Amino acid sequence: MKKVITYGTYDLFHYGHQRLLERAKELGDYLIVGVTADDFDKKRGKINVQQSLMERIESVRATGLADEIIVEEYEGQKIDDIKRFGVDIFTVGSDWVGHFDYLKEYCDVIYLERTKGVSSSDLRSEKRGINLGLVGEGNVLKKFYDESKFVNGIEVNAILVHNQIEKESYKNQELMLTDDFDKLLSIVDAVFIISHPSKHYSHIKKALTNGKHVLCESPIALNECDFNELKQLADEKNLILMDSIKTAYSTAYNRLLLLLKGGNIGDIYSVDATCTSLRDYDDNSWNSITSWAPTALLPIFQILGINYNNKTINSLTLDEKQNFDLFTKIDFQYENAVASVKVANSVKSEGELIISGTEGYAYVPAPWWKTDYFELRYENQEENKKYFYQLEGEGIRYELVAFAKSIELGRNNAYIEYDVSKAICKIIEDFENKDVNFLKKY
């Protein structure tokens, strides 16, 4: 039996894709189609925002031409796949002529002429892009601007910024720099907000009221009631309101969740997450709990759920009246598990994530919130497994992809569930209401 393998993105599946697969199928008896993962196919330009990996796989499957469909996830996989499947022929479109000649050492390489006059890039370009405004300050705002350039369908055309030094970092860029929020809203379709947490509610409400989709750095609000109001407003206006926690869009983090849900370390009885840094602070600084708690709480709520029985918050504060914590530890008790988070802007600790189960444990080293590597460890160390996944742009570009996809589909396509976002707001609310044990500074 002659085996043929080919690879592609297959975004916005069209007649050209169909013809290429038909001709690949004619080359042998068994066709293997590799669909490139969202976080792998970067060398062809920007990330596609039109279809998810599963949608693209389904498009290929629907043709009935593929005998087997695989996902291409890492550099060098083509050689591994050719050896593993005993492939006789590698084939791909003629726009790659010469690029894959190195595979001739392992099998025959055939370049097929592409169907002229149709491409996914052309189809994407026909769709109107999303004009995105950025609201806030700091390095993260600049990172979002830089990462937006990797995402098809999104263009930053306005930034709300008050700091003159920060304005200089956007010098010579083709966009509007303004300190007038209303002016920014008049020329954008959506906004990313990373203003001070105390301003999130007012900024989000104004944006939604003006018919703009919102992606907001977590926490969305400082209390549960405000979150519910904003969520209801977004629903009434058929707008997207999305929580921004970059970690949720790390490929490694998502693979970890899938392995845990698959029972790879048995029943889970403990989750411990630590996020700390040493930062200078002033009147505009985020406190420790708003800076780090949403990230630290994410794996706890996504693994153990939001229905904990008890929680205890212990904080070291700069001034109890200002609710500015230098360090906070939160302990949760579930019916069949426990969890803890440690967050700080003025106390340093090992920023790791440890998830304990009945058959083993998952270990994500510092800084775990930029997950690109983790281990599953067992009693028998020979069974230990290590997982590596490249993380581009700290997850920001994948978050923007999900945001754009949500706007296109008219439904939340985020990796963070609304009940998790609300549970995070509830923790912040309890802290703001001083449901806290305050520690005394030496």
What's the pLDDT band for 49 if we cut at 50, 70, 90? very low
The secondary structure of 281-315 as a DSSP string is --TT---HHHHHHHHHHHHHHHHH-S--SEEEEEE
The answer to whether 134 and 158 have CB atoms below 8 angstroms apart is yes
CATH 3.40.50.720 region(s) of the chain?
128-244
Q: What is the pLDDT of residue 205?
A: 98
Instruction: Name every residue whose Cβ is closer than 8 Å to that of residue 203 and which is 6 or more positions away in sequence.
Output: 135, 181, 191, 193, 195, 216
Structure tokens at 1: 């039996």
pLDDT (tens digit, 9 = 90+) per residue, 215-243? Answer: 999 999 999 999 999 999 999 999 999 99
Give the up-direction half-sphere exposure of residue 68: CA atoms within 13 A in the CB hemisphere.
Answer: 12
Q: What is the pLDDT of residue 43?
A: 43
Q: What is the DSSP letter of 434?
A: T
Structure tokens at 302: 């996504």
CATH 3.30.360.10 region(s) of the chain?
247-439
Give bridge partners of residue 376 from the DSSP assignment: 362, 385
The dihedral built from the CA positions of residue 154, 157, 161 and 167, taken in this order, carries a sign that is positive
Judged against a pLDDT cut of 90, whether residue 13 lies above it is answered with: no
What distance in Å separates the CA atoms of residue 102 and residue 92, rounded to the nearest whole number?
14
pLDDT (tens digit, 9 = 90+) per residue, 106-115? Answer: 999 999 987 6
Q: Put residue 372 in one of left, alpha, beta given phi > 0 → left and psi -120 to 50 → alpha.
A: alpha
pLDDT (tens digit, 9 = 90+) per residue, 326-377? Answer: 999 999 999 999 999 999 998 999 999 999 999 999 999 999 999 889 999 9
Element (H, E) at 55: helix 53-62
What's the pLDDT band for 390 if we cut at 50, 70, 90? confident
Q: Mean pLDDT score of the chain, rounded to an integer?
A: 89
Q: Using only C-alpha atoms, what is the Rg of the chain?
A: 24
CATH for 247-439, among 3.30.360.10, 3.90.1530.10, 3.40.50.150, 3.40.50.2300?
A: 3.30.360.10
Judged against a pLDDT cut of 50, whether residue 11 lies above it is answered with: yes
What distance in Å separates the CA atoms of residue 173 and residue 142, rounded to the nearest whole number?
12
Amino acid at 221: A
**CA distances (Å), origin 216, targets 11, 82, 246, 428:** 28, 44, 11, 16
Q: H-type helices in 110-196, by residue range?
A: 120-126, 139-148, 164-168, 181-185
Using alpha carbons only, what angle is made at residue 351 by residues 347 and 356, rounded to the nearest 5 degrees?
Answer: 125
Range name among 44-53, 130-139, 305-314, 364-373 with the lowest pLDDT average: 44-53
What's the pLDDT band for 145 if we cut at 50, 70, 90? very high
pLDDT (average), residues 7-20: 87
What distance in Å separates the CA atoms of residue 105 and residue 82, rounded to the nearest whole number?
11
Q: What is the pLDDT of residue 362?
A: 98
Judged against a pLDDT cut of 80, whether residue 164 lies above it is answered with: no
Q: What is the pLDDT of residue 251?
A: 79
Of all residues in the chain, the percent with pLDDT exceeding 90 is 62
Amino acid at 151: V
Q: Decide: helix, strand or coil at residue 419.
A: helix
What's the pLDDT band for 406 if we cut at 50, 70, 90? confident
Question: What is the CATH class of 128-244?
Answer: alpha beta
Q: What is the pLDDT of residue 45?
A: 47
Please name which of 98, 41, 114, 102 lies closest in space to residue 71, comparing C-alpha atoms.
Answer: 41
The secondary structure of 37-105 as a DSSP string is PTTT--TTSSBP-S--HHHHHHHHHHTT--SEEEEE-STTHHHHHHHHHT-SEEEEEGGGTTTTGGGGG
Judged against a pLDDT cut of 90, whether residue 66 lies above it is answered with: yes
What's the pLDDT band for 52 if we cut at 50, 70, 90? low
pLDDT (average), residues 18-25: 93
CATH 3.40.50.620 region(s) of the chain?
3-122
The answer to whether 366 and 352 have CB atoms below 8 angstroms apart is yes
What distance in Å separates the CA atoms of residue 371 and residue 133, rounded to the nearest whole number?
28
Whether omega before 367 lies within 30 degrees of 0, making that bond cis, reads yes
Judged against a pLDDT cut of 80, whether residue 14 lies above it is answered with: yes
Which architecture does CATH list for 3-122? Answer: 3-Layer(aba) Sandwich (3.40)
The answer to whether 62 and 44 have CB atoms below 8 angstroms apart is no
Structure tokens at 198: 């105390």
pLDDT (tens digit, 9 = 90+) per residue, 298-329? Answer: 999 999 999 999 999 999 987 655 678 899 99
pLDDT (average), residues 270-278: 96
Q: What is the pLDDT of residue 156?
A: 94
pLDDT (tens digit, 9 = 90+) per residue, 23-42? Answer: 999 999 999 999 987 666 54
The answer to whether 193 and 200 have CB atoms below 8 angstroms apart is yes
pLDDT (tens digit, 9 = 90+) per residue, 170-202? Answer: 877 888 999 999 999 999 999 999 999 999 999
